[in-house]
Amino acid sequence: MRDSTFKGALSDRTAKTFMGVLFGATLLVTLLNQVFPPDSALHVSAYTVTLLGKYLCYALLALALDLVWGYCGILSLGHGAFFALGGYAMGMYLMRQIGDRGVYGNAELPDFMVFLNWSELPWYWQGFDQFWFAALMIFLVPGLLAFVFGWLAFRSRVTGVYLSIITQALTYALMLAFFRNELGFGGNNGLTDFKDLLGFSLQEDSTRVALLMATAISLAGAFVLCRWITGSKLGRVVLAVRDAESRARFIGYRTEHYKLWVFTVSAILAGLAGALYVPQVGIINPGEFSPLNSIELVVWVAVGGRATLYGAVIGAILVNYGKTVFTGIMPEAWLFALGGLFVAVTVFMPQGIVGLVEKHWPSLKQRFLKTPGDNDTPMAEGEQS
């Protein structure tokens, strides 16, 4: 049995392998970007660094969904909302850091508020000039929304497809709200034109590398946290809730409490992913609330393999890399390709890439890793000298 302590999760073989690959790749990209000059064949451009950072943010988001879908059985089609809320919290901080360097030179109001003739900063923007306050909101806002939503839904025993539909309705309602200029979040254009983070210019290569490293560390920390949760006694109860909720309730467990706890933790991780995403891509707008984004997120996890954690990370990176390549060739056909991919995975690889590899690994290992003596057949007794 796996050690259920946090130390055990940290020393787990899977966690060690995951963190080794993650930090090894991050360190390699960092060295290739910082050490080699731009004209070198080994140089990794700042664009590639940013792209990899974005992929890792998506991987963190997929990890959050795998925790709640793969291990608790809650298919959320609204996790994009938590991602976007974390992104807006970071975006508000970055907008406050612009000060009088904006187009209109107003040290107090962001440019879009000056353009819309706002006379003062709204109360809910107060405090976002301080990083500690913004960091608190990155965790608090998605977590609080998930807690309130989950408490109402799980207490009412809403499950299955009905729960998926109302999570999708939640993110759609937020998208419509954030599109309104009078709400005070930039309307259709969102928040953009960021200058610096903690005094470091977002245009510098060193800052981009630092953000990549911060994202990698956050992803590793979230992975260890999820491994600890799923390997703990609480995690085993959550698995029981996923597989037979009525039986778990019958023997005395308050299943709604366990589901609410996991759902809230998952939302907080999604908010963290959104906060790391915004300074790397340079914009956050209501499009991030789109239900389509949450559906794509489900595809990432399904492709990689749910209830594995690292499968969600693999799926997010592979699908988004494919999206980058595919949209550069045939952008209008990407949604058809994504839909076809989801159908193919559902029919032919229900356990995802990780499940497929695990299924065929023994035969592959025997075929490619056997020793030369494995082919020798034992001699019969009469043939021995």
CA neighbor of 62 nearest in space, from 277, 345, 313, 348: 313
The dihedrals phi and psi of 349, each to the nearest 5 degrees, come to: -135, 65
**Using 50, 70 and 90 to split pLDDT, how confident is the model at 385?**
very low
> Does the pLDDT of residue 165 top 80, yes or no?
yes
Distance CA 225, CA 221 (A): 6
Distance CA 106, CA 341 (A): 48
DSSP summary character for residue 378? P
Two tokens, residue 69: 């879908």
Strands (E), 149-268: 191-192, 196-197, 200-201
Does residue 61 contact residue 304 with C-beta atoms inside 8 Å? no
Instruction: Give SS3 for 152.
Output: helix
Does residue 64 contact residue 266 with C-beta atoms inside 8 Å? yes
> Does the pLDDT of residue 258 top 60, yes or no?
yes
pTM for the predicted model, two decimal places = 0.91
Q: Dump pLDDT digits (tens) for 303-314.
A: 999 999 999 999
Distance CA 115, CA 65 (A): 38
CA neighbor of 235 nearest in space, from 56, 19, 66: 66
Tell me the CA distances in angstroms from 129 to 126, 219, 226, 272, one per residue in order. 7, 26, 32, 18
* 283 strand-pairing partners: 192
| pLDDT mean over 148-163 | 94
Task: Work out the burial of residue 188: count CB atoms within 10 Å of its CB; fewer than 13 is exposed, 13-18 middle, 19 or more buried.
Answer: exposed
CA neighbor of 351 nearest in space, from 295, 308, 294, 298: 308
Q: Dump pLDDT digits (tens) for 181-232.
A: 999 999 999 999 999 999 999 999 999 999 999 999 999 999 999 999 999 9
Does residue 161 contact residue 71 with C-beta atoms inside 8 Å? no
Does residue 196 contact residue 279 with C-beta atoms inside 8 Å? no
Does residue 78 contact residue 267 with C-beta atoms inside 8 Å? no
Does residue 208 contact residue 50 with C-beta atoms inside 8 Å? yes
Tell me which of 138 and 1 has the higher pLDDT: 138
Distance CA 13, CA 281 (A): 33
